[in-house]
Amino acid sequence: MFSLQHKTAVVTGGGSGIGRAVAELFAKQGASVFILELNKTAADETVNAIKANGGKASAFAVNVSDQLQVKDTFAEIAQAAGRVDILVNSAGVSHIGKLDTTSSEDFEKIFQVNVKGVYNTMFAVIQQMKLQGGGVILNVASVASNVGIADRFAYSMSKGAVLTMTLSVAKDYINDNIRCNSISPARIHTSFVDNFLAKNYPGQEKEMFEKLSNTQPIGRLRSTDEVAALALYLCSDEASFVTGSDYPLDGGFIKLNN
């Protein structure tokens, strides 16, 4: 089950975090993976890890907010692979701030990457998917798409847009055999969290980590591998009846905290 043999998958933000976990799992399941990443060094590390395990992967240095660059890259991938079966949008940036502490520059940066970046990649791949008779798009949204989270004004705006773009694309292209879904993760345990705690709470890392973990009713943070596993299902043929849906991966955060 959940084989991606003979599939071509494009993963944005595949140099770290969720994107890397998705890229590595998809390659393990047989997909040829193309990583779009602003940090080419990080993307190359993912590619090398995939190849070391016998997988197939390539990396492109791409700013997803640049539509021309994105379109040219997808054209190159389609020409090389012949098709693009899967697009996973995991590239994104965060911002801490309320409305009155979010500058215009901050707002624009979040919009360019988290909203326009997702629009650009979907725009670049949709005609190819229509021509080839179908495909799967999976967008990484957030629990912030569904509930209010303090000090996350611009980030919540962007992830709300990701969710509604997902629903719109699913509706508009259902007759083209193109499925579009999203995942809404809660907090994740990454090196970013560890470094943040070490920098801001020296000597209190364990205490603060437990506090973060307890914000999830399940009592822990999720892992990138858990997100990748859900992404694999949603992008596989086993999920062929699933479209226009958002999947919270939140340890009960949305339903049990409200």
Residues annotated catalytic, as ranges? 155
Question: CB burial class (10 A; 0-12, 13-18, 19+) of residue 15?
Answer: buried
Helix, strand, coil distribution of the chain in percent, nearest 5? 55, 15, 30
**Pure H helices in the chain:** 17-28, 40-52, 67-81, 104-110, 117-132, 153-172, 191-200, 205-213, 224-235, 253-256
**Rounded distance between C-alpha atoms, residue 240 and residue 50, angstroms:** 26
Nearest to 20 by CA among 51, 1, 47, 40: 47
Nearest to 140 by CA among 256, 2, 20, 247: 247
**Helix 117-132 / helix 67-81 crossing angle, nearest 10 deg:** 30
The β-bridge relationship of strands 135-140 and 86-89 is: parallel
Run of H or E residues at 190: none
Length of the chain: 258
Nearest to 125 by CA among 162, 176, 59: 176
**Rounded distance between C-alpha atoms, residue 48 and residue 35, angstroms:** 12
Give the CB-side neighbour count of residue 28, counting CA atoms within 13 A: 15
